[in-house]
């Protein structure tokens, strides 16, 4: 589903204020309002799977992080997640988040005739994808008066899922084959990318730290 989320879909993503009260007592939480989530798959089941995983990961108490040693990134374990989505908050007290994802194109498969005399069947649309990649663009605005909010420069992430299962072998009509796209993994990766950007914008992440986006691989790491 391209375009901005409808109100009902957006509310379904957000965590009620009461759900974070216990965490807030332990350490101050930073409130986030999700303004838009663009580029989601059109298939309702795939979309729901992605959004459920996004919400669950965003609401996690701790998240996996990485640290750079020299030129190599490695796991640094989990650390507390300071940011939490809420359904209602004053703009002066909450970050505003916009997420846009770019997915590989869906695959249309040509159906074979059962008999030579049969009419040519219509191609079958699927929710398979032509590649394993994913782009994520995260934009955010710091808390403040809506008319004077400071926007953080958007950050783009380019990743791919090396373990995505190929379900259609390459052919003349489909040179790259087709993949069963890992929608739940994609939802978790999008949430972690957004949280990395928010922690960095809030000056709680050093230059040699970043979110662990596995099972996705960052495009720059594959070069």
- What are the pLDDT digits (tens) for 30-69? 899 999 999 999 899 999 999 999 999 998 999 999 999 9
Residue 167: inside a domain: no
Other C-beta atoms lying within 10 Å of the C-beta of residue 78: 13
10 Å CB burial of residue 216 (0-12, 13-18, 19+) is: buried
Indicate the number of domains in the chain: 1
Residue 223: inside a domain: no
pLDDT band with cut points at 50, 70 and 90 for residue 116: low
Residue 206: inside a domain: yes
Residue 35: inside a domain: yes
Structure tokens at 58: 């965003």
Residue 1: inside a domain: no
CA 106 to chain centre: 18
Give me the helix-helix angle, 183-201 and 44-58, nearest 10°: 40
Kindly give the residue spans of alpha helices, DSSP state H, lying in 29-178. Answer: 44-58
Residue 16: inside a domain: yes
Residue 26: inside a domain: yes
pTM score: 0.80
Per residue in 185-200, pLDDT tens? 999 999 999 999 999 9
Tell me if 73 sits within 8 A of 210, measured CB to CB.
yes
In angstroms, the CA 217 to CA 88 distance is 34
Residue 220: inside a domain: no
Domain that holds residue 19: 7-101+134-157+183-214
10 Å CB burial of residue 163 (0-12, 13-18, 19+) is: exposed
Q: Between these two residues, 188 and 8, which has the higher pLDDT value?
A: 188
Give the CA dihedral 69, 71, 75, 78, nearest 10 degrees: 70
Sign of the Cα pseudo-torsion (57, 63, 68, 74, in order) = negative
Strands 62-69 and 209-211 come out as antiparallel
Residue 3 has pLDDT above 80, yes or no: no
């Amino acid at each position: 589903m391209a375009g901005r989320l409808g109100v009902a879909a957006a509310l379904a993503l957000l965590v009620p204020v009461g759900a974070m009260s216990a965490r807030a007592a332990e350490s101050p939480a930073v409130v986030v309002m999700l303004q838009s989530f663009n580029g989601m798959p059109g298939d309702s089941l795939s979309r729901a799977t992605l959004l459920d995983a996004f919400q669950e990961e965003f609401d996690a108490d701790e998240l996996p992080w990485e640290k750079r040693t020299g030129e190599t990134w490695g796991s640094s374990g989990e650390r507390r997640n300071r940011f939490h989505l809420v359904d209602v908050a004053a703009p002066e007290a909450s970050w505003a988040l916009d997420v846009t994802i770019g997915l590989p194109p869906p695959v249309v498969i040509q159906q074979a005739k059962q008999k030579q005399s049969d009419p040519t069947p219509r191609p079958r649309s699927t929710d398979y994808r032509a590649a394993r990649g994913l782009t994520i663009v995260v934009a955010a605005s710091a808390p403040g008066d809506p008319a004077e909010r400071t926007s953080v420069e958007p950050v783009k992430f380019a990743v791919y899922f090396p373990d995505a299962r190929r379900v259609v072998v390459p052919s003349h009509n489909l040179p790259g084959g087709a993949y069963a796209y890992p929608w739940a993994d994609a939802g978790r990766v999008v949430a972690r990318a957004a949280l990395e950007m928010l922690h960095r914008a809030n000056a709680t992440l050093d230059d040699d730290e970043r979110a662990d986006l596995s099972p996705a691989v960052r495009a720059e790491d594959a070069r």
